[in-house]
């Protein structure tokens, strides 16, 4: 005992909204700030999970595509 287990961030975010039981009802009772914070936490967790699942080459390809879209139509 005493070992700290790593929690699944997706399950934690879902649990904050009530999961399958009362999720929409609980979300309806949350303030806009609480909903925003819950969404932010879930977004961070999913982004980290996606990053760890991608290969470095795939991440580089995604970054190049994003940079090209960001600079499209801009002149030097």
Residues 45 and 9: beta-carbon distance below 8 Å: yes
What was the pLDDT predicted at 22? 55
What was the pLDDT predicted at 55? 94
For the segment 11-66, what is each residue's pLDDT rounded down to a tens digit? 777 666 555 555 666 777 888 898 888 888 888 888 888 888 999 999 999 999 99
pLDDT at 5 over 60: yes
Residue 7's Cβ-count burial label (10 Å; 0-12, 13-18, 19+) is exposed
Provide the whole-model pTM. 0.43
Please give the distance of CA 45 from its chain centroid, rounded to a whole number.
4
What was the pLDDT predicted at 35? 83
How many residues in the chain?
A: 76
């Amino acid at each position: 005992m005493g070992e700290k287990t790593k929690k699944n961030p997706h399950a934690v975010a879902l649990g904050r909204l009530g999961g399958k039981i009362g999720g929409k009802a609980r979300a309806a009772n949350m303030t806009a700030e609480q909903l925003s914070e819950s969404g932010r936490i879930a977004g961070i967790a999913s982004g980290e999970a996606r990053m760890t699942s991608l290969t470095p080459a795939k991440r580089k390809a995604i970054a190049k595509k994003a940079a090209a879209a960001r600079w499209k139509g801009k002149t030097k």
